Structure 1
């Protein structure tokens, strides 16, 4: 159960408090530290999956823990950014992204109960969405609001939100026949 990929995933979760401390630390370098730690989390998200496949160490625990670590890390970072920016322009895509994660998690759980979990496997669009989302958060954490880099991050966050809606529609479409049966 506790193999190398799962330890990498647990390491990602353990970094969350350090991202928070870095972001709120009274220092001019706080943004760079928080963004760097978040970038490390994003890189290890890729690494744990790669190691699980390469080392043939995929486990049910890892399959459960990996998306949980992703969702918690992203949600924490978005909540911090919503508080820091205190602007509708950042709040709207953050709500879209967090809401989608809740909907898809519930959908996956429900589909698993019906024995149809494979019908809603992770899609390519979901992977692109995650990459865009992680990149946008790195940019947004890296500098204070109102900078050019933050603007790039905000544009990327909107692209991630659009991909979020698209991927959610793909998942719901794939599950629609099962959802209609339960209505």
Structure 2
């Protein structure tokens, strides 16, 4: 249970309140520290899976906690960034960015519920390649938005974050539809 991969996953969960605290006080220095921590959290996400596979120590706890850690971190950082005026420097379009964030959050809730329902039927739904791309794009978007807060004098970084956020929202819709279509077959 307390293998290194599981400890790395748990560290990601424990890092979320620190990320939220740092984003609560959005100064460029706080954003810079948040970006470094965010990168470390991303590295642990890669390492926990790599080490678990390399050492043959894939555990049920790890399989359970890994996606939860990802979703908690993405949801918390996304909410903090979108609610922050720093992440939405143009008030006229700030509301539109909230739509992209809601699409991402709602899909995560729906797919998690679907997975739980299907698990009760003993149906496994593996993560699709499209969902992995969606997650990667979400993580890049959030990283760029955090870095954009640390570098307000370089506005294109923030722009990259917003563009990636919208592409992630689009992939979120497509991959969510794929999961629902797969799940629907088992609901009849």
Does TM-score exceed 0.5, indicating one fold?
yes
Contact 1:36 1:138 in 2 (8 A): no
Which residue matches 2:184?
Answer: 176
Q: Residue 161 of structure 1: which of 145, 169, 172 is its match?
A: 169
Aligned-residue offset at 1:25: 4.2
Aligned-residue CA RMSD (Å): 1.6
Structure 2 CA distance, aligned partners of 1:92 and 1:102?
15
The match for 1:138 is 143
Aligned to 2:62: 62
CA contact (8 A) 2:5 2:62 kept: yes
The two structures have a TM-score, normalised by structure 2, of 0.89
- Matched residue, 1:123: 128
Q: Any unmatched runs of 5+ in structure 2?
A: 89-93
Q: For residues 33-70 of structure 1, what are the alpha-carbon distances to aligned partners after superposition, in whole Å with 9 as ceiling and x for unaligned?
A: 11221122122112111111111111111111001100
1:16 is the counterpart of 2:16 = yes
Structure 1: distance between partners of 2:61 and 2:24:
32
TM-score normalized by the length of structure 1: 0.91
C-alpha change, 1:38 and 1:150, in structure 2 (3 Å) is same
Task: Give the distance between the partners of 1:50 and 1:36, measured in 2 at CA.
Answer: 21
Runs of 4+ aligned residues of structure 1 deviating over 3 Å after TM superposition are 24-28
CA distance in 2: counterparts of 1:28 and 1:172, whole angstroms: 40
- Residue 51 of structure 2 aligns to a residue whose secondary structure is helix
Residue 31 of structure 1 corresponds to 31
CA contact (8 A) 2:24 2:80 kept: no
Name the CA shift for 1:27/1:78 in 2 (closer, same or farther; >3 Å).
closer
How many residue pairs are counted as aligned between the two chains?
A: 178
- Cα 1:89–1:147 change in 2 (3 A) is farther
What residue ranges of structure 1 are gaps of 5+ in the alignment? none
Residue pair 1:82, 1:91 contacting (<8 A) in 2 also:
yes
